[in-house]
Structure 1
């Protein structure tokens, strides 16, 4: 039976309005630096980013009595508020049916390797508390009649720990957390871009004292660039991932993330080799992931050449109609590209086929008004002739309607409604899509409390490198909430943010401002448009899901030359209002070189194909096949198991990038807590390890 969902319900889950921000008080003091009158704001902690992870950190820190402010380049404009999929996933411990085992969940989270075992356990244990707190403040997660949360299976998840509010799950998370932040009267500095982290001290004693930013509201004749200083005892980096790094990207426009900002401050980054790529609509229109029911509805996928001729290209790859259709379906819960799934006619052969079609200059589309066409010489498409797992799923879902659009409307009417909100009706017209960069699994190296290698600096959400090679779909939303809370708890234990900071920022702020001014040169031959085209083309063409050793090495050389040119010539701009974006592209150029440094190191040291990337090599042991034979041009290396046990680290010393490795941190599953023995560590705060007596040995990195 098809349940007709009322339009009011569809509206509530797709048109998610955000609260209005309250104005902030003007700065009470001003510093004169390099001829600019720079306002100074004082806080205990500055949270950079207004997505779900940053808001969680801000709310939890404020609830504990700390002085917190939020700065955001564009409120409600990041990936949490603007990205999603058919039923965007939140991955937590399964509270329905037989419950869950946190140790088993941790093993599933870290199964792909290159992930700290203690981090995975923290995410598993914290997930139940995280989900309950989100429900408490109003997140409408679906339940059954007995109070159990409704679940389904997502990518890299064999148990069914996924749940969803619909296509706007993360936006709904942002909405309820933003309301909580405003209710707590947390000051929110919008249209504010972080330019440089301010530090004092050296070696192990170096610590955060503030942030140099640019704000549109601060522009004046005596401060045309809108510089602003924030004095603080701690910073939480929660600015998301480097969405502008790739041309072929499903990130919203303007997502720069915090990798460049972190590198400039000397933080250690980890796992920059690990990303996610998958099918979605392009960012030039309405960027959206096409996972879940979009492909489980089994639309016809085809290509159009420049003369408008259709090509049933998937029929060149799969041997039977049943095999082709079943793998289209599997893209629903095997959404990210995975090198090994190109083998044995698996679901990632579809991603490779799409990339090849786009390389020929063809557009790829899915048509929800046509069932998949047959493979030549084979029987036509039939719901009764599908692989057992596919047929069972559709049967249980009751999705046995005659056409893809009817099956999609039955399984998930929100998926149709969402595109209508953006003036595209997939019930009427075919939908163009491609394989895009979607998520950075690496980022700032942190410990189990979200601490970076710089005292007073935390990283949460996509800014943090807490993920390994693979992760279950929706685990990133969970990780941001868990570590947002953990960072706030640790910050509270330190006492650094109890009161607004009293630091004198004349020296550190003046030095940071001079570093920014050195980049801003109107006469430079380099401009933002040139940098964007250069960086994005290089990353998409040489460091996407298909990588070749010589191309990555050449791309690294080009990225290094670009950063050298920026140091020598700066970056041009036309108007003072552009300087925020100019300095963000400077950060992106550095982040690009860092990613390529890590990737080149991995490949040169025998790194094989894992997760998001296939390392193509004529000597590789693995070859994808099509119905016509092997694709020798895409022969690739097998993964080396030893690399699962370590992480690649990258850091910048102010002059050049360095690369190293470290083993994953371990977690002893046999160890058991004991109340009387362990309670004192909680009572005294010793478990927060404020002095960093255990955990990451920074010097060894």
Structure 2
């Protein structure tokens, strides 16, 4: 049995061309701020980021008459367009073989803990609308002949809620949303780096007034850094996660996100201790997660040392060839590292083993032209000797071919085509990979409408801290679509009057411009490159999948010291056009300090291993084992159940941080709506005035 898909179809789903941007809109005026002549544009809302979540917010606002603009460091160059996800996780009520309901999906979304229950329900109930509207815009989600959307199982998903257009699913989402944004006439300011959230007022009266950004094309003699001012009463942060935080990362290059900018504005963040790591190819070549069929075809995994000698290292961790092969397969839907899956010879032993090989200086490869080597002393690999769940899946898929590459060509030829586009032929040569940082599960703390703790500022997508500790694979894409729509609805329903904000731009922008000037110091010992190296090495070496209390505390102290030096000495840049990078690396240094501070606090309070990280300690209660015996160096603390019901929040106060713990917001599953009672709140817009948890914690 073969799945013969014509090459032109494979090409169309792999080479996804993005729309060309039209000529940019001009700025309304100029204003002098601190000796700089800044172009100014006034509007209702600025969306920071041009990925799937930001474009959704912009499209939904434009449809509702909001004067919205998008600013982007690199249009179509972010995570969802360039690396992103190959799936979207959605409600499955429309399928005949697997029943579902919104409450069940919400429980699955929040199952990892540290997630607001109402947020999980909003994501579940909004998923059908998100999927249908994307299909309306042209997203080619696959269907069966009766109109049901084809589904499959993904990580942290026991039902099978994922669907996919192939490896470029999220890029296709960006494409159809971008086309709609351009059709509606949404102005997109490309090569524009957001630097500072502008505010006015003090205390509870403080609110956002706009955004200071850098645009090299606006550099002039009286605007050396190319600074520009967007004046608006609302901002939507949608620039993704802090992808530059780690050296070992699957994020595309230059993905900084807006978490540092939010911290500098005094906005409360939550769950920044939580992230996701897994096997992938690195950003130095073509960054991509090796989940799904890449591992479900069970390729041979091995390492090579400095002398060119191969090491079949997984045989040191698993007891039988069948156990080894079955757990390679399970990385397809158990892709993220999870500490508890290192126990009982489960699938995260694969991640641990790969990480150890890399730390030992060996290069790790996946070979699709070889089946796994046998565990020493055991029988060779055979498709007839696999765990029941693995054997059943491959049999149903018709994947009984002799070699992994033939199984992959049968199950997912797009997986091969994708790497060929980047000059890597996995049908002919092994693929080098490692364990890398992939996602920030925490972020800006938001309420049920996406509002942050700073009035006027919203956060959607990976910028928002809505994901909890773990989440079903692909649900982050869905969350961005749902909350992009929610934020747009709230902004459109609460804008005061028809005119854009018209406050004093000098008063709000003056301190921000002065801070940029103060940061740039030709005499500083800290260059952009040096700050990058320090931050990324510290995070990858001390705050990855394996952590120790002492290592995290040392990382926190080093991060704090670096931030102190940057505040005192600034950052050296080679040319004025690099000012945006200098600000972004100051913010990455700040995010590093915030993450290590929150993680150290969590560990000091007795927190255990969960999600992305194993907290290893000699007094740990959990001890992974390999074929050769106990792995004593990764003895770890188990997660405490009570920690799942709360979140750690953090905000900047002066040059330090205020940390708090708050309970997850609850959702009453027994509460029911009543049409006649509740319709007036919708008609009058009263639903937008609900407290929604914006100011708690």
TM over 0.5: yes
Gaps of at least 5 residues in structure 1 are none
Structure 1 equivalent of residue 40 of structure 2: 40
Shift of 1:99: 4.3
Contact preservation (8 Å) 1:272, 1:440: yes
Cα offset, 1:498, TM superposition: 4.4
1:53-452 map, 5 Å: 53-84=53-84, 88-94=86-92, 95-97=94-96, 98-452=98-452
CA distance in 2: counterparts of 1:287 and 1:303, whole angstroms: 19
8 A Cα contact 1:491 1:497, kept in partner? no
| Structure 2 Cα separation of the partners of residues 514 and 103 of structure 1 | 50
C-alpha displacement of 1:221 = 1.3
Show the counterpart of 1:657: 657
How big is the shift at 1:100?
2.2
- In 2, the alpha carbon distance for the partners of 1:114 and 1:624 equals 25
- How many angstroms does 1:497 deviate by? 8.2
Conserved in 2, the CA contact under 8 Å of 1:66 and 1:497?
A: no
8 Å contact 1:59–1:184 — kept in the other structure?
A: yes
Cα contact 1:542–1:552 (8 A) shared by 2: yes
Q: How far 1:500 sits from its partner (Å)?
A: 2.9
Is the 1:264–1:654 Cα contact (8 Å) retained in structure 2? no
The Cα offsets for residues 49-85 of structure 1, whole Å up to 9 and x where unpaired, read as 0000000000000000010000000001100000146
Distance 2:103 2:692 in 1: 22
What is the deviation of 1:658?
A: 1.6
Alpha-carbon distance between aligned partners in 2 of 1:13 and 1:96, rounded to the nearest angstrom: 24
In the TM superposition, residue 601 of structure 1 has moved relative to its aligned partner by 0.5
* CA positional deviation for 1:338: 0.3
| Shift in Å, 1:272 | 0.4
State the distance in 2 between where 1:52 and 1:110 align. 22
User: Residues 442-591 of structure 1: matches in 2 within 5 Å?
Assistant: 442-496=442-496, 498-591=498-591
RMSD of aligned alpha carbons: 0.9
* Residues 587-602 of structure 1 mapped to structure 2, 5 A cutoff: 587-602=587-602
- SS across alignment from 2:578: helix
Q: SS in structure 2 opposite 1:77?
A: coil
Q: Which residue is 1:695 aligned to?
A: 693
Looking at structure 1, the residues matched to 497 and 194 of structure 2 have their Cα atoms a distance apart, in angstroms, of: 19
Instruction: Give the CA deviation at 1:265.
Output: 0.4
2:25 and 2:676 map into 1 onto residues whose CA distance is 48
Alignment of 1:654-693 (within 5 A): 654-689=654-689, 693=691
TM-score, normalized by length of structure 1? 0.98
- Contact residue 234 and residue 497 of structure 1 kept, 8 A: no
* Structure 2: gaps (5+ residues): none
Q: For the residues of structure 2 that align with 1:292 and 1:129, how far apart are their CA atoms?
A: 26
Q: Deviations over 1:306-336 (max 9, x none)?
A: 0000000000000000000000000000000
Would the aligned equivalents of 2:28 and 2:42 in 1 still touch at CA under 8 Å? no
What CA distance in whole angstroms lies between the structure 2 residues aligned with 1:294 and 1:107?
29
Structure 1 contact 259–591 (Cα < 8 Å) conserved: yes
Q: State how far apart, in whole Å, the 2-side matches of 1:50 and 1:305 are.
A: 42
**Distance in 2 of aligned mates of 1:93 and 1:74:** 32
SS where residue 57 of structure 1 aligns?
helix
Contact 2:448 / 2:692 at 8 angstroms: preserved in 1? no
Change in Cα spacing, 1:403 to 1:653, as seen in structure 2 (3 Å) is same
SS in structure 2 opposite 1:104?
A: helix
Secondary structure of the residue aligned to 2:615 is: strand
Contact 1:67 1:498 in 2 (8 A): no
Would the aligned equivalents of 1:43 and 1:497 in 2 still touch at CA under 8 Å? no
Secondary structure, counterpart of 1:436 in structure 2: strand
Distance 1:538 1:104 in 2: 40
Q: Residues 612-659 of structure 1, C-alpha deviation per residue, up to 9 Å, x if partnerless? A: 100001000001100111001100001100100000001012321121
